């Protein structure tokens, strides 16, 4: 039921970054569920991780190890290794130790990632057994296979790729993501891996991943549930024959930033397009706020309202529900007489009430589309925020009522 999400685009290999996929049979025999990524020596890795206090064991380990030199990323699906206490930590470490032995690196140089059911013990022996096959599979052109290897309830793999040229050198930025439910990333996403062959200073890389995630993964929501396992990693292998990019790099930094932001946005929006049960891809824009937070409060109130989400599913221009959500978003001293609301290009509410020009037919025409923009003009200031979400369908309930059975 993915909305506007087709087959994977061409995912250009990133020199110095290889991906290998294997099947450990964690949840289902034969399913690709282990992905190993290898970063060439000298690569830098920066990342953001979930703000959920109950973060998973692998997230705790990844956070610590990000400060050092990273050589491998080890991902499993089918089991989140979250809510698993000390055993979970030991299991996550053990899986990286097994990979360290096979690859002759230090376990501290390996970042673990898990996604799947929360609260089950990680079947670490199965993962260990699959590592040789994953290593044998390592190749720079295995992005598409890895995009499939990290899927859980996703119906389609998600990836994006950009290239730009600088001083005659082609620089590549390629990324993949997964996620379809328990999606309201907060300083992170379910899982996202974006790599470039640019050489990037540690500070710039960390700022890039933070800023790009903030405008992409941190602006999507499917069900308002912030996961315990969100992680988004940005890898720079430095294999492109160009000077190191620092905060002072001017044009080259600008080109890289554009490419990174563009890939982040595409793979983040792909998660929404593949949202559980999604039949609509919905952009919510809050303009004219007095600060960024109140714009976000309004946009998320609209995006999380089950009443608005079911109306979107039904293609019902029930704009009163939008007004109600704006009204309870908690914006202090909100003057409703200054608020306009647009559905697509149609003004549905003006000065806090039904727009004089509005007809139900206009609203119905917009609501019938697969991609819908709801824009709220708050009339309080100059701030603006945009987020992306889905509708709430029968299928969402079905998927999540039956997830473990």
C-alpha closest to that of 383 among 342, 337, 331:
331
Pairwise CA distance, residues 314 & 304, whole Å? 16
Q: How far is the CB of 368 from its own copies (least distance, A)?
A: 14
Q: How far is the CB of 324 from its own copies (least distance, A)?
A: 5
Q: How far is the CB of 392 from its own copies (least distance, A)?
A: 6
Decide whether 202 or 338 has the Cβ nearer to its own copies. Answer: 338
Q: How far is the CB of 187 from its own copies (least distance, A)?
A: 11
383-390 vs 158-166, strand pairing mode: unpaired
| C-alpha neighbours within 13 Å on the C-beta side of residue 390 | 30
Decide whether 119 or 132 has the Cβ nearer to its own copies. Answer: 119
189 is in an annotated binding site: yes
Phi (first) and psi of residue 85, to 5 degrees:
60, -150
C-alpha closest to that of 202 among 17, 64, 50, 47:
47
Pairwise CA distance, residues 311 & 398, whole Å? 18
Could you tell me if 189 and 150 are in contact, meaning their C-beta atoms sit under 8 angstroms apart?
A: no
Q: Nearest-5° angle of CA 270, CA 271, CA 275?
A: 115
Pairwise CA distance, residues 369 & 360, whole Å? 15
Pairwise CA distance, residues 333 & 47, whole Å? 38
Q: Which two tokens stand for residue 383?
A: 């701030």
287 is in an annotated binding site: no
Q: How far is the CB of 228 from its own copies (least distance, A)?
A: 5
User: Among residues 75, 115, 174, 189, which one is catalytic?
Assistant: 189
Decide whether 185 or 238 has the Cβ nearer to its own copies. Answer: 185
Decide whether 368 or 397 has the Cβ nearer to its own copies. Answer: 397
Q: How far is the CB of 313 from its own copies (least distance, A)?
A: 5
**189 included as an active-site residue:** yes
Pairwise CA distance, residues 93 & 80, whole Å? 14
Decide whether 171 or 323 has the Cβ nearer to its own copies. Answer: 323
Pairwise CA distance, residues 67 & 142, whole Å? 27
91 is in an annotated binding site: no
C-alpha closest to that of 170 among 336, 299, 13:
13
C-alpha closest to that of 37 among 192, 245, 230:
192
Decide whether 199 or 304 has the Cβ nearer to its own copies. Answer: 304
In the block, tokens 């080890």 appear at 74
115 is in an annotated binding site: no
Pairwise CA distance, residues 181 & 276, whole Å? 6
400 is in an annotated binding site: yes
Site residues (CB under 8 A) for its own copies?
51-55, 80, 82-88, 117-119, 181-182, 184, 186, 223-228, 304-307, 310-311, 313-314, 316, 318-321, 323-328, 331, 334, 336, 349, 351-354, 392-394, 396-398, 400-405
Name the binding residues: 152, 178, 189, 276, 400, 405
Question: Which residues form the catalytic set?
Answer: 189
Name the binding residues for substrate: 152, 178, 189, 276, 400, 405
């Amino acid at each position: 039921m993915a909305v506007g999400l087709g087959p994977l685009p061409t995912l250009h290999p990133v020199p110095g970054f290889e991906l290998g996929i294997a099947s450990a049979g964690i949840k289902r025999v034969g399913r690709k569920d282990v992905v190993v990524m290898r970063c060439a020596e000298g690569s830098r890795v920066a990342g953001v991780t979930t703000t959920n206090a109950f973060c998973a064991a692998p997230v705790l380990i990844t956070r610590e190890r990000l400060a050092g030199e990273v050589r491998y990323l080890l991902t499993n699906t089918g089991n989140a290794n979250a809510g698993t206490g000390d055993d979970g930590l030991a299991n996550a470490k053990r899986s990286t130790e097994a990979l360290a032995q096979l690859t002759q690196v230090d376990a501290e140089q390996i970042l673990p990632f898990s996604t799947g059911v929360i609260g089950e013990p990680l079947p670490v022996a199965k993962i260990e057994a699959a590592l040789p096959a994953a290593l044998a599979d390592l190749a720079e052109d295995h992005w598409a296979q890895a995009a499939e290897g990290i899927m859980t309830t996703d119906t389609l793999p998600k990836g994006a790729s950009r290239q730009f040229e600088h001083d005659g050198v082609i620089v590549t930025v390629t990324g993949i993501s997964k996620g379809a439910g328990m999606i309201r990333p907060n300083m992170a996403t379910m899982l996202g891996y974006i790599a470039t062959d640019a050489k990037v200073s540690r500070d710039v890389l960390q700022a890039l991943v933070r800023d790009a995630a903030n405008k992409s993964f941190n602006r999507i929501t499917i069900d308002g549930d912030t996961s315990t396992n969100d992680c988004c990693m940005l890898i720079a292998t430095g294999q492109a024959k160009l000077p190191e990019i620092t905060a002072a790099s001017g044009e080259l930094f600008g080109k890289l930033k554009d490419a990174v932001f563009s890939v982040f946005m595409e793979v983040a929006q792909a998660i929404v397009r593949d949202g559980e049960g999604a039949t609509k891809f919905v952009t919510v824009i809050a303009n004219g706020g007095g600060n960024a937070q109140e714009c976000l409060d309004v946009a998320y109130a609209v995006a999380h309202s089950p009443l608005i989400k079911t109306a979107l599913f039904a293609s019902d221009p029930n704009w009163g529900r939008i007004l109600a959500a704006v009204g309870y978003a908690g914006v202090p001293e909100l003057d409703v007489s200054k608020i306009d609301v647009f559905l697509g290009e149609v003004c549905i509410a003006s000065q806090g009430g039904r727009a004089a020009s509005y007809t139900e037919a206009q609203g119905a025409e917009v609501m019938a589309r697969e991609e819908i923009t709801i824009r709220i003009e708050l009339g309080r200031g100059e701030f603006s925020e945009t987020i992306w979400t889905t509708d709430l369908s029968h299928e969402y309930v079905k998927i999540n009522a039956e997830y473990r059975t």
